[in-house]
Amino acid sequence: MKNRSLLYPLSMEIHQAIQEFIIAKNLTVAKLAQESGITRGYLYKILNGEHSPTLYTLDRLAKVLEIPLSEIILFAENDVFFR
């Protein structure tokens, strides 16, 4: 079986994009989890790259971060292609 990160490189960068937006918006993980309606444990798994969030979850996070969902994807995509 091939390495999942080679098959889905963008999904491996989503967590880094979310981390950058959390820092930029001066939020805590607990606050983002609470306001987006997901558990802190699940958000930590996303941020550690252990889980790939669904588009629905990404949309909920983007709304709390007050950014378009596309910003998260573009940020992650640029990180993948500019390495």
pLDDT for 10 beyond 90: no
Q: Which domains are assigned to the chain? A: 4-81 (1.10.260.40)
DSSP 67: S
Identify the DSSP state of 83.
-
44-78 tens-digit pLDDT: 999 998 888 999 999 999 999 999 999 998 888 77
Is the pTM higher than 0.85? Answer: no
Place of tokens 């500019």: 82
Per-position DSSP letters for 1-55, written without gaps between them: ---HHHH-HHHHHHHHHHHHHHHHTT--HHHHHHHHT--HHHHHHHHTTSSPPPH
